[in-house]
C-alpha cells in the first residue's frame, strides 16, 4: 500500500510542477507580447512629427491600438489559463481516480485471496479429521455441518464474482417472471437459520407477496444483505428481517444491531470494492462486492435500495419494488 501512496505523491508533485510551469510560461508569454506592444507603440509615437496638426489624433489612435492589443492579450491569456486549469484538473482527477481504483482492486485481490483460502482450508481440515480420526456421531455431524457451511460460503463468493463480471461486461440478462417473494425469502432465512443456529433471527415476512423478478438474483440479494448483517453485528445481537407490501410497494429490509455506518460512508457503501479500513488490519470478512451487487440487482428490478440508521443501534438496508397481484 505504501508503494501506491508514494505513486500518488509522485503524481501530485508532477501535476503541480507541470501546472506551475505552464502558468509561468503563459505569464512570460503575456509579458513578452505586452512589452513588444508597448515598444511598437513607442516607436510609432516617436515617428510622429509633433508639429503635425493631427499629432494628438494620431497619438490617440496609437494609444487606443496599444490598449486594444493589451486587452486582447489579457483575454487570450485568461482563456488559455482557464483551459490549462480545466485540463490539469481533469487529468489530476483521472489519475487520482485510477490510483484509487488500483487501491480498491488491490484490496479486493487481498480479500478474495483470503476469502477463497479460508473455506478451502477449513474444508480440507474437516475432511482430513473425518478421514484420520474415529469421532462420535455428534462430532462428525458438527464437522460435516461446518464443511457444508464453508462450501455455501465459497459458492456465494463465486456467484458474486461471476455476477460482478457479467455486470461489468454488460452481459447480465435477467429473465423476469412472477415469483412468490415471500416463499423465496422464507427459504433463504431458513437456510441461514440452519447455517447459523447460534444467531437469533427476528422474521416478519408477510405471506403471498408476488413480484416480477429473476429468482436467482433476488436470492443473491437476500443472501448478501443477511450475510452483511451477520458480519457487522455482535454474535449475540438480533438480525431483523422483514417483508411487507403496501399500496403496491414491496419493502424488504434487513436490520442489524452493529456499530452502524457513518454519514460519509453511507454515500460509498454501494460502490464497487468499497470497504472501510485497511485490508491488512480489517477483522471483518468480505470482498466489497456484496452491497454493490445488491444495488445492481435492485436496479435491474427497477427498484431502489437505501441505508438508514436503526433506531436502537446499527443499520437498516431497505430494498423497495413494485408488487404484482399474484
pLDDT digits (tens, 9 = 90+) for 161-183: 777 777 766 666 767 889 899 99
pLDDT value at residue 286: 60
Distance CA 31, CA 10 (A): 31
Instruction: Tell me which of 80, 104, 128 is where a domain ends.
Output: 104
Q: Check pLDDT > 70 for residue 94.
A: yes
What is the domain count for the chain?
3
Q: Per residue in 236-261, is it b (16+ CB within 10 Å) or e — as a string?
A: ebbbbbbbebeeeebbbbbbbbbeeb
Instruction: Work out the average pLDDT over 129-133.
Output: 84
Evaluate whether residue 66 is within a structural domain: yes
Closest residue by Cα to residue 285 from 155, 112, 161, 149: 112
Count CB atoms within 10 A of the CB of residue 290. 23
Q: How confident is the model at residue 325 (pLDDT cuts 50, 70, 90)?
A: low
Count CB atoms within 10 A of the CB of residue 48. 14
Lookup: cell for 64: 487606443
Residue 76 and residue 53 in one domain: yes
DSSP labels for 53-74?
TTHHHHHHHHHHHHHHHHHHHH
Q: 89-96: long-range contacts (C-beta < 8 A, 24 or more apart)?
A: 91/15, 92/11, 92/12, 92/15, 95/11, 95/15, 96/8, 96/11
* pTM, full prediction: 0.58
Evaluate whether residue 112 is within a structural domain: no
Residue 209 and residue 308 in one domain: yes
pLDDT digits (tens, 9 = 90+) for 181-208: 999 999 989 888 887 888 889 999 999 8
Residue 154 and residue 203 in one domain: no
Q: Check pLDDT > 70 for residue 128.
A: yes
Residue 19 and residue 70 in one domain: yes
Q: Check pLDDT > 70 for residue 133.
A: yes
pLDDT digits (tens, 9 = 90+) for 254-301: 998 887 777 778 888 888 777 655 444 345 556 677 888 889 889 888
Identify the domain containing residue 128 by its residue range: 117-169
Residue 9 and residue 79 in one domain: yes
Residue 255 and residue 152 in one domain: no
Closest residue by Cα to residue 206 from 250, 179, 244, 241: 244
Evaluate whether residue 220 is within a structural domain: yes
Contacts of 7 (CB under 8 A, 6+ apart): 99
Evaluate whether residue 217 is within a structural domain: yes
Instruction: Tell me which of 48, 69, 104 is where a domain ends.
Output: 104
Residue 122 and residue 33 in one domain: no
Evaluate whether residue 243 is within a structural domain: yes
pLDDT value at residue 185: 93
Q: Check pLDDT > 80 for residue 321.
A: yes
Residue 195 and residue 306 in one domain: yes
Amino acid at each position: 500500500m505504501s508503494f501506491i501512496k508514494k505513486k500518488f505523491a509522485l503524481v501530485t508533485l508532477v501535476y503541480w510542477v507541470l501546472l506551475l510551469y505552464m502558468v509561468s510560461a503563459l505569464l512570460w508569454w503575456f509579458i513578452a507580447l505586452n512589452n513588444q506592444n508597448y515598444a511598437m507603440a513607442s516607436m510609432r509615437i516617436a515617428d510622429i512629427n509633433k508639429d503635425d496638426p493631427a499629432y494628438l489624433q494620431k497619438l490617440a489612435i496609437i494609444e487606443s491600438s496599444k490598449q486594444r492589443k493589451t486587452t486582447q492579450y489579457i483575454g487570450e491569456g485568461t482563456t488559455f489559463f482557464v483551459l490549462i486549469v480545466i485540463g490539469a484538473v481533469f487529468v489530476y482527477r483521472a489519475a487520482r481516480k485510477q490510483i484509487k481504483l488500483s487501491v480498491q482492486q488491490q484490496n479486493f485481490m487481498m480479500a478474495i485471496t483470503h476469502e477463497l483460502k479460508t473455506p478451502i482450508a477449513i474444508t480440507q481440515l474437516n475432511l482430513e479429521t473425518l478421514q484420520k480420526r474415529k469421532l462420535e456421531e455428534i462430532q462428525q455431524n458438527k464437522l460435516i455441518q461446518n464443511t457444508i457451511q464453508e462450501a455455501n460460503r465459497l459458492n456465494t463468493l463465486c456467484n458474486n464474482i461471476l455476477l460482478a463480471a457479467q455486470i461489468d461486461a454488460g452481459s447480465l440478462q435477467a429473465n423476469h417472471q412472477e415469483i412468490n417473494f415471500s416463499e423465496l425469502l422464507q427459504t433463504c432465512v431458513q437456510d441461514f437459520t440452519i447455517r447459523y443456529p447460534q444467531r437469533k433471527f427476528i422474521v416478519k415476512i408477510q405471506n403471498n407477496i408476488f413480484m416480477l423478478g429473476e429468482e436467482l438474483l433476488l436470492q443473491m440479494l437476500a443472501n448478501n444483505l443477511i450475510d452483511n448483517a451477520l458480519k457487522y453485528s455482535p454474535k449475540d445481537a438480533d438480525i431483523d428481517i422483514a417483508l411487507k407490501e403496501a399500496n403496491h410497494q414491496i419493502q424488504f429490509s434487513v436490520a442489524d444491531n452493529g456499530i452502524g455506518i457513518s454519514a460519509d460512508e453511507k454515500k460509498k457503501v454501494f460502490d464497487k470494492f468499497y470497504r472501510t479500513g485497511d485490508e491488512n488490519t480489517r477483522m471483518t470478512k468480505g470482498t466489497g462486492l456484496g452491497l454493490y451487487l445488491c444495488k445492481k440487482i435492485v436496479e435491474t428490478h427497477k427498484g431502489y435500495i437505501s441505508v438508514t440508521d436503526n433506531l436502537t443501534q446499527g443499520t437498516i438496508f431497505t430494498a423497495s419494488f413494485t408488487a404484482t397481484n399474484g
